[in-house]
Amino acid sequence: MSVLRVYLPAESVDAEWRWALSSGLGAVLREGDGDEPPPPADDCELVLAAGLCRFAEPSLPPGAARQGESVLGFALEEGLLNAPEENRYSLQSTGRAPQVCLTAQAPLRRIMASLSAAGQSVTRIVPEELCLPEPPADGWTLARLDSGWALRLGYHRALCVPLLGDALWHDLRAWASPAQILLCGDAPLPAALQDLPVTHRARPDWRTAAVDPAYDFAAGRRRWRQFGRQWLRIARQAGMALLALALLDLTLSAGELGWLRWQQWRMVDGMTEAAGRMGVRQAVGEDVLNQARRQLAVERTRHGLAQDGDFLPMLVALQPALTEQGALRRLRYRHGELTVEGETLPAEVAPAQRSRLAAQGWTVTVPAPGQVTLLFAPVRREGARP
């Protein structure tokens, strides 16, 4: 994921802003100034130079913090250099007292309009002071800037201290009483702080530094953008899931159709093989068997019986008369009577064969030499209802 960071300097509201494009791993890929249009990126963050923001802890009556920005400006009005409505506020409730960071609206509107014209939508607006590491519980974090010192007092509190000598540092030290200093960079400490224990660390770069989420002036915009991205991602995932389900259903349907085809071929092959063993010629026997089998299935369904299972057993019962190749010449089924015509059918059917056929629901007659007529009637089982 690429991140475009835009730096708004503190020299002047009309000062030229700078930008830097970095990768998700923090490496700077490109950088430039306001004269060059910034490249597209997944996220666009606006960093306000140290000194453009003010951190405060206003005193609000109980329940007033719920009204948010509508009361913050008036609570801080005595310490502001402009009208309350000309500022943008970021409120954080810590459970003890509300913490507020505020900055002027006009510079933000100008740079955001420029970025919007360049096709960029700002998703995060943070003070440069939050690029400094969080200070120790009993100390400060300091970093030397061109115009002064960036001082971070805690997670929600920071200052930009101008270069006015040691008197101001004595007053700040008496007010906050730090026990140690976390110094970012190689600049020497002010003389009023040089007796404190110091831990050195490299100065963070606004282009790639990790920014604490203590304050964000674009939190509402960011929430709506994250909300839209989340639903877009869900819609894409749902679309992919539906496509996967459709492909799975198509695969299962194709597999089921193939299995049914295979079963049909197996059944036809089995019937053809059985008819061949009984002496029915393959070219004629398969059509005769299929036709008779369909007619018998319809008739048995009308009588409330199972469709399959009677035709081949009937041929098996007549097997002694159908042993020679081509012995079965024709099958005719009409009005419930199945007539079997062949070259060598006996004039009489043996009692054993008649019994086997009667058990399956067939009554046997021999109307003429070479013909056997079988009349189908459902067999009533013992205990069955009439």
| Predicted confidence pLDDT, tens digits, the chain (386 residues) | 788 989 988 776 555 788 999 887 778 888 888 778 888 888 888 898 888 888 887 776 666 555 555 566 666 766 666 677 778 887 776 555 677 888 888 888 888 888 888 888 888 888 888 889 989 988 999 999 877 889 998 888 888 888 877 888 888 888 888 899 999 988 888 888 989 999 999 988 888 888 877 777 776 555 555 555 666 677 777 778 888 888 888 888 888 888 877 877 777 666 666 655 554 444 344 555 565 566 666 666 665 555 554 555 666 666 555 545 556 667 666 666 777 777 666 667 777 777 877 777 777 787 777 777 777 665 554 554 44
Q: In whole angstroms, how large is the CA radius of gyration of the chain?
A: 47
Count CB neighbours of 220 within 10 A. 9
Specify the pairing of strand 148-152 against strand 139-144. antiparallel
Q: For position 384, what pLDDT does the model report?
A: 45
Contact 191, 166 (CB under 8 A): yes
Please state, in angstroms and rounded to a whole number, the distance separating the CA atoms of residues 41 and 131: 21
Please state, in angstroms and rounded to a whole number, the distance separating the CA atoms of residues 66 and 79: 22
Map out the domains of the chain with their CATH numbers. 3-217 (3.30.420.380), 278-376 (3.30.1360)
Please state, in angstroms and rounded to a whole number, the distance separating the CA atoms of residues 102 and 35: 28
CA distances 16 to 13, 109, 115, 218, 363, Å, are 9, 15, 13, 21, 108
Q: For position 376, what pLDDT does the model report?
A: 65
Count H helices and E strands in the chain, helices first: 7, 17
* H-only helix segments in the chain: 69-75, 105-117, 166-176, 219-277, 282-302, 311-317, 351-359
Please state, in angstroms and rounded to a whole number, the distance separating the CA atoms of residues 131 and 215: 11
| Full-model pTM | 0.54
User: Residue 335: which residues within 8 A CB-CB, separation 6 or more?
Assistant: none
Q: Work out whether the CA dihedral 29, 34, 35, 37 comes out positive or negative.
A: positive
Contact 60, 75 (CB under 8 A): yes
Q: 278 is written with which tokens?
A: 């009984």
Contact 239, 247 (CB under 8 A): no
Q: Is 38 helix (H, G, I), strand (E, B) or coil?
A: coil
Q: Which residues pair with 182 in a beta bridge?
A: 141, 199
Q: For position 177, what pLDDT does the model report?
A: 86
